[in-house]
Structure formats: structure tokens, C-alpha cells
Amino acid sequence: MKRILALVLCFALLFSLVACNRRAVPSSSDVKAAVQEEYDMKFKLDSEKIAKDESKATWVFISKDGTLEVTVTWEAKHPKEFNFEDKDLAVVPSKRDVQNAVEEEYGMSFWFNYESISEGDKETTGEWVFYSEDETLEVTVTWSSKKPDKFNFSDRKIEKPTESSDPYDDDPDVPTYGRGSEVIELWSFTNEIPNMVAKYIELHPEFGEKYTVRCTIIATDGGAYQQALDQAIAAGGDKAPDMYAAEAAFILKYAQGDMAYYAATYKDLGIDVDNKIKSAEIAQYTVDIGTRDGEVVALGYQATGGAMIYRSSIAKDVFGTDDPDEIEKIFGAGTGSWDKFWDAAAKLKDKGYKVVAGGDDMWNVCEKAATKAWLDKDNNIVIDPQREAYLDIYKKLIDDDLSKDTGSWNEAWYAEMGSGNNANTFCFFGPAWLINYVMIGQSGYTWGDWRVCTPPVGFFWGGTWVLADKDTDQAAGVAELIEWITLDTSDTGLQYLWANDQMGNGAKDTVASAVVMGKSDGTLDFCGGQNVFEKFIEGNKYATGKAMTQYDEDINGFFKDAASKYAHGEIDKDAAIQEFKDNVSSAFAL
């Protein structure tokens, strides 16, 4: 027996020594840090290969500027050593640099048509084709990595298209309003703004006698609208947009980011924008989002500040009142804290109700409540406290059984709005459009049982902004339309018509001007006859857009994925944060 026990002890000791000496494969983030220290430049992970027995591993990194490829190898035999091998990569010139070279060579303006890049083992070649602004000359530019400083030009004359060959003339998908000789090109991703133009011409027929507004409408699916818009704006010429729309998901790109250079300031259009913003009491967050270097280049007609939309009958059952002012006190409206919200959620649970349908319902609040952007000026990743709080908020909803964990935009989520027989969710967080275009259609027996109050934490969700091209030759007409859409507070201004359901939308929607909402009828039968505008005006005041970047759409997805894994117990909190950072770093070559 003693011999057996001694043998067991020997094996245990041997196993413990092996376990102590075993060294885990380094993480890709640690390896990247070593590469960046070695070469003193930024890299992104291109590939990773780890042996099944974890005895060795290989990583390939590409420098942020695309000039260097580094292969890192590691072996468990020498766990503290990284071996580096590097090779130079060809640098492909940007379209903008090539376009500048063409314009300098030919002394005239050109617009980009297409490019073709081919990467070989020993040489990278590129071909760019440009058309002159007057469409009389085609120039092809070729380039080789063997002679990276030399552009080769070839050109051919092309016949300038006549008016009869205008592709818009017979295209039913390009609505045209007005019949004047002055043409305004309008680009949008829905027919919403084109319909506004039609209404303006109806109210001001003299505008239609002077101008023709041609409307290019491209859906946002797969980034199609942005891709086409970018190309049209950069190309310039007669078909370039004079005015264009951008939604919340990508407005920063056009107002403050990569494409902001092309946007005209409202002042340059001749609009007395500062005074009109003040007199109209435009929601400040919409102004901040549309401001570039202190000057307004975009404004919206909607205001999508959020509210807490809750069930009246459940409020009475649990809290003894459905009065919005009292419910606000119970939930800590405007405090910027979730403490009272959790106390109320526990009381709802005791009565058999869920406070929200799922973690997704809290995301827009946490994400848009942030005051620090995901990336600082040096492109370091920053997680604002409001966004980091979402990790624990989501997990608490799961661990404490306070939601149905439905996700959003699916049948289970819609069912909790009232169309399901077992719907017992107390509230949803959202702007007026969530009521008008989602909840009303899903309400079933809960019609009239909903109320609106100010949320604990301010946020917004969605919206559309209107911009003008800085090179438009129709500044006066564009300014007239933009001012009517975004700043006119009269009873015939777009925002009054929009708020009072006089635009054919079938809904009373919130608008950017608090003055307009203050004099409009915001009562909804769906909300028991409550004037919801009063609460949405408060919601607009609490909303902020100062933490937005043009990369939010992608970065948000990485954070939500990591948060979901943490909330459902798949990884711990530190691992979730690290996974998020690794994904962002790889995606944006940080």
C-alpha cells in the first residue's frame, strides 16, 4: 500500500512540475505589442496559425501604412523568444493622389471612374481611369511598384454626351420635381426628403418654375448608398449632388470625418444659421453632430431623443400609479444613474413582470449616453463608463431574471410589445419613431396602454441630416430647401407639417425644433391620449452626440458581441473587454 501511495505521489509531483513549466501560447495582442516595439510602427494582425499541441505558432502582421509585412514565429521550447522576419510591401497611391496628378498634368478638373490593382509576387501594378469634368477626355493612369514615383498617362478624346443621352431623362427610378431650367441634384437613401421637396413646390409653385429637382434614391443596403454618394461627390460635375442626406449611422463621416471636406457650411449658403437655431430651439445634440470646426454643415428635421415607453396597467399594478411624472421619480429620470431603475426592476419581478425584453433594449441608451468616443486623438481605444456599464447591465438582466433575453428586431421582441399572449414586459427605450412605426403595429391588446416618460439616462436613436455640396452652383435654391426643412418654425414649415401628421406619414413625429413641438398636437390614442411631445422635448435635452465617430457602426458591433458572451457566461468580463479591443485593433490597424 505504501509503495502504491509513493508511486501516486511521484506521478502527482511529476504532473505538477510539467504543469508549472508549461507555458501558454502568447495572445495575438501581446505578439503585436512586441512587433510594434521591435519596428516602432503600428501593425494589424493578418493571420494566425497555432499548432494543435500548442508547441509552436506563427503570426503575420501588416504595418498600418501597408509598407511592411512581419512574420513572427514562436516555440514552446523557447517561450520567451519571438523570431521576426520582414519584407517590404508595395505602397499603392490613393485615388486622390492620382487624381491630383492627372489634374496637374492636364490643367483641368477630372472625376474618378474606376481603378484596377493587381498584386504579383515581384510587382504590384495599378490602373486608374478618369473623365474630364466636361466629359471630353478620358485619361488612363498606370503605375508599377518597380518605379513607384512615376505615373504613366494615356488619353483619348470622347464625344461629349448630348442632353438627349442624359440617363435621367427616361429613368422612372429618378423622381423629378419642378420644371425650371435650374437643376438641383438631390441624393437620398429613402423617398422621405424627395417627398418634402414635392410638398415645398406644392406650397411654393414659383420655386418649381425656377428649379427642377432631380432625386437619386439608393438604399443603404450593403453600403450601396455611401459608396455611390462618395464617388459622385468626389467626381463633381453636373451629376454630383447639390444636396444630400445622411443618417445617424454614417452622418459623422460626412459632417466631421473623411467626406466632411466636401460639405458646405450653412453660413456659406447664406443661411443665418446661428440665430435661427437659437430661435427655433433646435435640439443641441443634432447641432453638435452636424458641426465641423465650429461651423454647421448639417442639420436634421427629426429629433430622436429617447424616452422610456412603459405599460400603464403594469405601472398601476406594481407602483400604484401610471402618472408619467411619478414613474419618472420611481425610475430616476434624468439622474444619469441606473440605481433606482434596478430597485424598480426588482419590484416588477416580484409581481411577475420583466423590466425590459432583453439586453438589446439597454444598448442604445448606454451607447449614446457616452461622452467619450471609442478612439481618442491618438487612436487609442477608450471605453466610456456608460458603455462599459452595459456589460454589467446586460449580465444583471440575465443573472437576476429581469428580462426575457429576446434580442431585438425579431418576433419574440415584437411579441413583448403586446402581440404575444404572454407579453409581460414593462418598458422599451426609444424615440417617437419606435412608437409610430414599430410598436403601434405590434401592440395588439395593449393599444392605449402605453405611456411615455423621461428615461434615467439620456440618449438618442437614429435621425437624418441634410447637407449641401461646397461646390454647388445652385446655392440659393439649395439653401431655400434646407432652411425650410431644418429651421422653419412656421405653420407651413416642414417641421410643423411633420409633427402634426400633415405630410402623409400617418404619424405625429418628433422634430428638431422644440418651438414647433411646443405648439403642435402631440396627443396619441396609443398612449392613452398623452401629449408625448412634452416628454420627448425633455429627452432631446438629455441626448448627446459628442462621443460619436464615423467608425461607430463597426465598433459597436464588436462591443455588443463581447457583451453578449459575457452576459451569457461564455467568457469573463476581462476576456470580453480584451476580445473587443483585439477585434477593434485588427479591424482598424491600431
The answer to whether residue 4 sits within a structural domain is: no
Largest Cα–Cα distance of the chain, in whole Å?
Answer: 107
The answer to whether residue 9 sits within a structural domain is: no
Tell me, yes or no, whether 434 and 444 share the same domain: yes
The CA dihedral of 433, 436, 438, 442, to the nearest 10 degrees, is 160
Q: How many CA atoms lie within 13 A of 257 on its CB side?
A: 15
Tell me, yes or no, whether 433 and 582 share the same domain: yes
Domain containing 57 equals 23-88
Pairing label, strands 299-300, 182-188: unpaired
Tell me, yes or no, whether 180 and 195 share the same domain: yes
Query: Looking at beta carbons, which pairs linking 14-21 to residues 24 or more positions away fall under 8 Å?
Result: none
The answer to whether residue 15 sits within a structural domain is: no
The answer to whether residue 8 sits within a structural domain is: no
pLDDT of residue 163: 34
CA 88/CA 33 separation, integer angstroms = 20
Tell me, yes or no, whether 273 and 187 share the same domain: yes
- Of 88, 107, 130, the position where a domain reaches its end is 88
Tell me, yes or no, whether 189 and 298 share the same domain: yes
Contact 538, 306 (CB under 8 A): no
Q: Say whether 11 sits in a helix, a strand or coil.
A: helix
Tell me, yes or no, whether 210 and 358 share the same domain: no
Set of cell numbers at residue 531: 401629449
| Number of Cβ within a 10 Å radius of residue 422 | 7
CA 32/CA 47 separation, integer angstroms = 12
pLDDT of residue 533: 94
pLDDT of residue 532: 94
- Name the DSSP class of 82: -
Tell me, yes or no, whether 414 and 286 share the same domain: no
The CA dihedral of 168, 171, 177, 180, to the nearest 10 degrees, is 40
**Phi, psi (5° rounding) for residue 476?**
-65, -45
The answer to whether residue 3 sits within a structural domain is: no
Tell me, yes or no, whether 374 and 288 share the same domain: no
**Phi, psi (5° rounding) for residue 54?**
60, 30
CA 275/CA 41 separation, integer angstroms = 47
In sequence order, which ranges of 380-510 are alpha helices (DSSP H)? 385-399, 411-414, 432-434, 440-442, 475-486, 494-499
pLDDT of residue 91: 62
CA 257/CA 250 separation, integer angstroms = 10
pLDDT in tens, the chain (590 residues): 444 444 334 444 443 433 444 447 888 878 888 988 898 888 888 778 888 777 888 988 888 766 788 999 989 888 888 999 988 776 667 666 788 888 888 888 876 665 566 665 556 777 777 778 776 788 888 877 767 667 888 888 865 433 333 434 445 557 899 999 999 999 999 999 999 999 999 999 999 999 999 999 999 888 899 999 999 999 888 778 999 999 999 999 999 999 999 999 999 999 999 999 999 999 999 999 999 999 999 999 998 999 999 999 999 999 999 999 999 999 999 888 999 999 999 999 999 999 999 999 999 899 988 989 999 888 899 999 999 999 999 999 999 999 999 989 999 999 999 877 789 999 999 999 999 989 998 888 899 999 999 999 999 999 999 999 999 999 999 999 999 999 999 999 999 999 999 988 788 999 999 999 999 999 999 999 999 999 999 888 888 888 888 888 889 999 999 999 999 999 999 999 999 999 999 988 76
The answer to whether residue 129 sits within a structural domain is: yes
pLDDT of residue 273: 96
Contact 132, 106 (CB under 8 A): yes
CA 305/CA 340 separation, integer angstroms = 21
**Phi, psi (5° rounding) for residue 225?**
-65, -50
CA 244/CA 187 separation, integer angstroms = 5
Tell me, yes or no, whether 418 and 364 share the same domain: yes
Pairing label, strands 464-468, 243-247: antiparallel
pLDDT of residue 3: 44
Q: How many domains does the chain have?
A: 4
Three-state SS string across 152-177, please? EEEEEECCCCCHHHCCCCCCCCCCEE
- Name the DSSP class of 191: S
CA 24/CA 12 separation, integer angstroms = 21
Residue with cell 496628378: 101
* 42 torsion bin: left (phi>0), alpha (psi -120 to 50), beta (else): beta
How much is the pTM? 0.70
Q: Say whether 545 sits in a helix, a strand or coil.
A: coil
The answer to whether residue 279 sits within a structural domain is: yes
CA 590/CA 583 separation, integer angstroms = 10
Tell me, yes or no, whether 247 and 232 share the same domain: yes
Task: Give per-residue pLDDT as tens, 502-538.
Answer: 988 788 999 999 999 999 999 999 999 999 999 999 8
The residues, ordered by sequence, that sit 6+ positions from 244 with a Cβ below 8 Å of its Cβ are: 186, 187, 188, 229, 233, 254, 466, 467, 468, 469
Tell me, yes or no, whether 359 and 400 share the same domain: yes
Q: In what order do the strands lie in the sheet with 43-50?
A: 43-50, 56-63, 68-75, 83-88
Task: Give per-residue pLDDT as tens, 173-218.
Answer: 578 999 999 999 999 999 999 999 999 999 999 999 999 999 999 9
Set of cell numbers at residue 301: 428635421
pLDDT of residue 20: 41
- Of 115, 135, 160, the position where a domain reaches its end is 160
| CATH number of the domain where residue 429 is located | 3.40.190.10
Pairing label, strands 427-430, 110-119: unpaired
The answer to whether residue 5 sits within a structural domain is: no
Residue with cell 503585436: 32
- H or E segment to which residue 151 belongs: strand 147-157
Set of cell numbers at residue 112: 474618378
Tell me, yes or no, whether 39 and 73 share the same domain: yes
Three-state SS string across 486-506, please? HCCCCCCCHHHHHHCCCCCCC
